[in-house]
């Protein structure tokens, strides 16, 4: 680990002198499954491929070859990537329950009267910081099922109301996200609800795996878009993490596809919710929980307990783990919302913008040369980010973009 006195960021460098262990990545992810997820998603009414935005002027300013933002704020009507995992997991659950083969099940069948007659009404349930619950509620409503979502007590009214807008019953649990996860596990067993969670625990691994496989559909699109630009693959991927599900999906996908030639992969977390960073720091191969209030503006990443199955992939494949203060996410939001002339504007929430904010801080703040050199970031680098959410909390968004909350410390102000 490096904690430079000139930087508020911390990082852990991962070296694999004998090559990376790709067994977990290849066991969890495959191109046939990724294509199945993408085929299912394309059947959903209103589905379209989200943009892979290029920010060439920002790339030039920072001295890199390309900055690419896969903008999941445009995904369906949900302003977030989460529906890609939740919807696919529900699809897989119904498919398995009815014993249907891949070529015999479709979105149209899932909403058909025959399917509803065979299934009856299911209550799908999950705990969430906002976006995952909204995606599960949306999918349940589309397929004609009930939904119960548990949120923690610091979830904002805007996020709660967004979940309720899709007909879900929302319960507020005292404590943080991890407390909500534990409570819904108990209540779902008591009430016969079917949990659709993106984190795993002993005995509950299949559905979180389906969720992460569903996220692969995003990478299928991105690779098609890179191909259209004459780019085989990004050289670097900065990906945000809460329990680690998205990070596992992205990093596992690229290692499944490219093996030891996968892009350099960097996991970015809030410094007040850094369970994966602490797991890497322990260096014993096990996931480690953290406790406390998890106070961060990055609501979607405020998780203290890693998903064990996600950690199994990340521990063997991530090249670096970073933890960053909240101002890094706020800076990323402002960069995307007020771009350099000629670059597109991207509306991003705190959790969506933190990887770009991390790169900008890495390349402009003093004391970060060790990480930059280790990652080999240079004028040829093609760097991928996933904007996982748009303006999902309008009040917080305005406070950051309009009012300047969570400002960058003066010592790190832009000078170029």
Largest CA distance in the chain: 64
Distance (Å, whole) CA 42 – CA 49: 9
Distance (Å, whole) CA 178 – CA 294: 10
Contact 390, 352 (CB under 8 A): yes
Distance (Å, whole) CA 319 – CA 263: 9
H-only helix segments in 289-412: 308-317, 326-337, 350-364, 369-375, 394-401
Which of the residues are catalytic? 82, 129
Residue 210, CB-side half-sphere exposure with 13 Å CA sphere: 19
Beta-ladder partners of 268: 240, 322
Distance (Å, whole) CA 30 – CA 406: 40
Contact 336, 345 (CB under 8 A): yes
Backbone torsion region of residue 283, taken as left when φ is above 0, otherwise alpha when ψ lies between -120 and 50, otherwise beta = left
Of the candidates 3, 24, 21, the one whose C-alpha atom is nearest the C-alpha of residue 13 is 3
| Distances in whole angstroms, Cα of residue 71 to Cα of each of 274, 300, 336, 386 | 24, 16, 11, 6
Residue 174, CB-side half-sphere exposure with 13 Å CA sphere: 0
Helix, strand, coil fractions of the chain, as percent rounded to 5: 50, 15, 35
For residues 380-395, b (16+ Cβ closer than 10 Å) or e, as one string?
ebbbbbbbbbbbbbee
Task: State the residue for tokens 């079917």.
Answer: 194
Radius of gyration over every alpha carbon of the chain, rounded to an integer in angstroms? 20
């Amino acid at each position: 680990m490096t904690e430079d006195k000139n930087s508020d960021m911390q990082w852990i460098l991962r070296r694999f002198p004998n090559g990376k262990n790709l067994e977990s990545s290849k066991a969890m992810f495959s191109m046939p499954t990724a294509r199945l997820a993408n085929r299912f998603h394309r059947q959903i009414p209103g589905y379209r491929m989200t943009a892979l935005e290029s920010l060439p002027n920002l790339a030039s300013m920072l001295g890199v070859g390309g900055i690419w933002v896969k903008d999941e704020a445009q995904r369906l009507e949900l302003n977030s990537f989460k529906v890609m995992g939740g919807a696919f997991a529900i699809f897989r659950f119904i498919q398995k329950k009815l014993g249907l083969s891949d070529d015999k099940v479709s979105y149209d069948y899932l909403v058909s009267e025959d399917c509803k007659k065979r299934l009856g009404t299911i209550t799908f349930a999950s705990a969430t910081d906002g976006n995952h619950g909204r995606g599960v509620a949306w999918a349940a409503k589309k397929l004609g099922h009930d939904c119960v979502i548990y949120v923690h007590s610091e979830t904002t009214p805007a996020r709660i109301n967004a979940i309720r807008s899709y007909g879900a019953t929302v319960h507020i649990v005292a404590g943080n996200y991890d407390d909500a996860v534990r409570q819904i596990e108990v209540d779902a067993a008591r009430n016969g609800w079917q949990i659709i969670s993106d984190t795993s625990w002993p005995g509950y691994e299949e559905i979180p795996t389906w969720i992460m496989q569903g996220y692969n559909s995003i990478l299928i699109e991105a690779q098609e878009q890179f191909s259209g630009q004459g780019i085989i693959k990004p050289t670097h991927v900065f990906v945000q993490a809460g329990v680690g599900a998205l990070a596992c999906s992205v990093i596992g996908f690229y290692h499944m596809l490219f093996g030891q030639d996968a892009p350099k992969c960097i996991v970015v977390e809030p410094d007040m919710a850094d369970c994966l960073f602490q797991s890497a720091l322990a260096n014993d191969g096990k996931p480690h929980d953290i406790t406390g209030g998890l106070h961060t503006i990055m609501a979607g990443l405020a998780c203290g307990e890693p998903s064990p199955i996600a950690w199994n992939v990340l521990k063997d494949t991530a090249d670096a783990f970073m933890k960053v203060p909240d101002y890094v996410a706020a800076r990323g939001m402002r960069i995307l919302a007020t771009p350099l002339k000629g670059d597109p504007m991207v509306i991003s929430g705190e959790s969506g913008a933190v990887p770009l904010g991390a790169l900008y801080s890495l390349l402009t703040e003093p004391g970060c040369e060790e990480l930059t050199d280790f990652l080999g970031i240079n004028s040829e680098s093609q760097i991928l980010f996933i904007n996982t959410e748009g303006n999902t909390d309008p009040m917080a968004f305005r406070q950051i973009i309009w009012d300047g909350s969570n400002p960058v410390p003066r010592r790190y102000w832009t000078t170029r």
